[in-house]
Amino acid sequence: MTNHSEKEETKKPSLNFIEQIIEKEISEGKHDGRVHTRFPPEPNGYLHIGHAKSICLNFGLAQKYNGLCNLRFDDTNPVKEDVEYVDSIQEDIKWLGFDWGDRLYYASDYFDQLYDWAVKLIKEGKAYVDDQSAEEISAQRGTPSKPGDESPYRNRSIEENLDLFARMKAGEFEDGARVLRAKVDMASPNMQLRDPAMYRIKHAHHHRTGDDWCIYPMYDFAHGQSDYIERITNSICTLEFEVHRPLYDWYLDQIIDTEYRPVQTEFARLNITYTVMSKRKLLQLVEAGHVNGWDDPRMPTISGFRRRGYTPESIRNFADRIGVAKRDNVIDVALLEHAVREDLNKKANRVMAVLDPLKVVITNYPEDQYEELHAINNPEDESAGSRIIPFGRELYIERSDFMEDAPKKFFRLAPNREVRLKYAYFIKCNDVIKDEDGNITELHCTYDIDTKSGTGTSTRKVKGTIHWVSIDHALEADVRLYDRLFLTENPDVAEEGKDFKSNMNPDSLSVVKGYVEPYMVNAKAEDKVQFERTGYFCVDKDSTAEKLVFNRTVPLRDSWAKKMNK
């Protein structure tokens, strides 16, 4: 055995810091070697690519270490939550390729247990009912550098607290009239520990428990306990919950009577250039009509990416590559685009489509004659097979593939220059026809019958190959050309008095009428193709037999355009 291969075998795959923690726990026999994670969305919006990172992390860890991952809706605030979101979230996770088996849970499943634990805390003198308003409590909380003041209700008798809390539950009080607070430490340097609210009164209809409750637990009083109930080993969340961890542990300390205890670990959330990533901001875009719903292909939501033509594999690969760490990060959107191109290059059939048509008449091709040409569906995948393309006297080519005063390096069509029509013949441009305003309306070309594709009869070579469609056979299609939603790398940096919306790209969507080869007649929603030399496209759900609709997923890399810009 060579030294080299020995090294290969012994080289450990690099682990992210959470995997290191887990492997250490396993080696120490913690949790009996179990790994059980959970993905805990609040059903108050659609999932975005940042959630995809968390989903891939939590479900991925469970897969890797032979464990389980639960789906748990964190539904403790009925005024913001809705079944629409419960449904879309499940659909998106499944689409991404993950499965929670029969472990679909809701924090609201635990409301009775949570209530009992709250009563227990009251009985132990560790919780009290506060009659003050939210404003008063807030005023007493102090600041990060100044300790808070204790509530005048902090030392009520246990009996009175028990009575008041029962009456809160019974609906005797109005929203906001009272709140149950944990008695921790108003002088704690950690603001989260300054007697945090455990329960608040909300006479609101809950999407699952209906009108059973009019008091609802806060996130902090529900989350750790839910983890505990589900026997979660690793409770993984984003960095902003780091300061909550002492409270997470404090609540657990009050209720735990086993050796087992869940551990919270935090990682940095995902940011992407030219994108905003908060549900609040995305909701604003939807509600203000800046986009057409949560699944608008310009949205960084999972449903938006799905409609845009991204594959689950590409998103999972992306999540893999960005890694997991604790420092703030901004991922270049080019990495995401690379991930889709890489996947689609292998999977998407090639098809010819002209998006900005220029008519070409092949003057030496007989009128009313047509022929069928043979085309490869995917040069990267032989099993994709081949198809037939109709060719005739009148064609469309891309306007950008013709230049009247072409530089030497322009390998496309120009007066007296020759190009190959992909899968067809060489053509030479003889005449440029213009209207009275000088706009080019038509090209007259001649073709060379000896250059037919695949015959090998041509001895000449030509530098460029362009795509085309036969006018008589092409199908008309609406093609939606999507571009980035924001003009600046960090949309949150805005001028004085303005917000992220001032950085929106006014041209993030343009719809053009294009022509595609007849092969696409039976295209179904979410079908993905590459329009040869243009980009990857996906059939939109708005598409019908009468009117095809395509969304541009991502353009092809274009080194020519790059050169032209210099």
Kindly name the residue from 80, 202, 269, 484 that is annotated as catalytic. Answer: 269
Say how far apart CA 331 and CA 272 lie, in whole Å: 5
384 vs 512 by CB, closer to RNA: 384
By C-alpha distance, which of 23, 25, 42, 15 is closest to 262?
A: 25
Cβ 497 to RNA, closest distance in Å? 19
Relative to beta strand 104-106, strand 36-39 is: unpaired
Beta strands 353-354 and 349-351 are unpaired
Structure-token pair, residue 91: 């659909």
How many CB atoms neighbour CB 151 within 10 A?
Answer: 21
In the residue annotation, 42 being an active-site residue is answered as yes
Least gap, CB of 321 to RNA (angstroms)? 5
Q: What's the distance, Cα to Cα, between the start and end of the chain in Å? A: 52
User: How far is 240 from 226, CA to CA, in rounded Å?
Assistant: 19
Find tokens 């472990």 and name the residue: 103
CB of 500 to RNA, least distance (A): 14
Q: At its nearest, how many Å lie between RNA and the CB of residue 148?
A: 8
Nearer to RNA, 34 or 126 (CB): 126
| Angle, alpha carbons 91-272-489 (nearest 5°) | 140
The angle, 0 to 180 degrees and rounded to 10, between the axes of the packed helices 219-229 and 111-123 is 110
Active site residue 269: yes
Considering only CA atoms, which of 82, 71, 73 is closest in space to residue 38? 71
| Minimum CB–partner distance for residue 235 and RNA (Å) | 13
The Cα 76–Cα 521 span in angstroms is 48
CA atoms of 312 and 419, how far apart (whole Å): 38
Closest to 178 (Cα-Cα) out of 130, 125, 219: 130
Contact 181, 128 (CB under 8 A): yes
Q: Tokens representing 103? A: 């472990």
Annotated catalytic residue within 156, 178, 279, 350: 279
Which residue, 323 or 518, has its beta carbon nearer to RNA? 323
Comparison of 439 and 559: residue with beta carbon closer to RNA: 559
State the minimum distance, in angstroms, from the CB of residue 547 to RNA. Answer: 25
Alpha helices by DSSP H, 157-311: 158-170, 219-229, 245-255, 279-287, 302-308
Contact at 8 Å (CB) between 419 and 413? yes
In the set 19, 42, 91, 313, the catalytic residue is: 42
**426 contacts 448 by C-beta, under 8 angstroms:** yes
At closest approach, how far in Å is the CB of 363 from RNA?
A: 22
In the complex with RNA, the residue whose CB is nearer, 34 or 209, is 209
8-state DSSP, 473: T
Which of residues 68 and 339 has its CB atom nearest to RNA in the complex?
A: 339
Cβ 503 to RNA shortest distance, Å: 18
Strands 475-482 and 509-516, bridge-based pairing: antiparallel
Nearer to RNA, 340 or 509 (CB): 340
Q: Say if CB 516 and CB 477 are below 8 A apart.
A: yes
Instruction: Output 167 or 547, the one with its CB closest to RNA.
Output: 167
Count of all residues that appear for the chain in the document: 566
Positions marked catalytic: 42, 269, 279
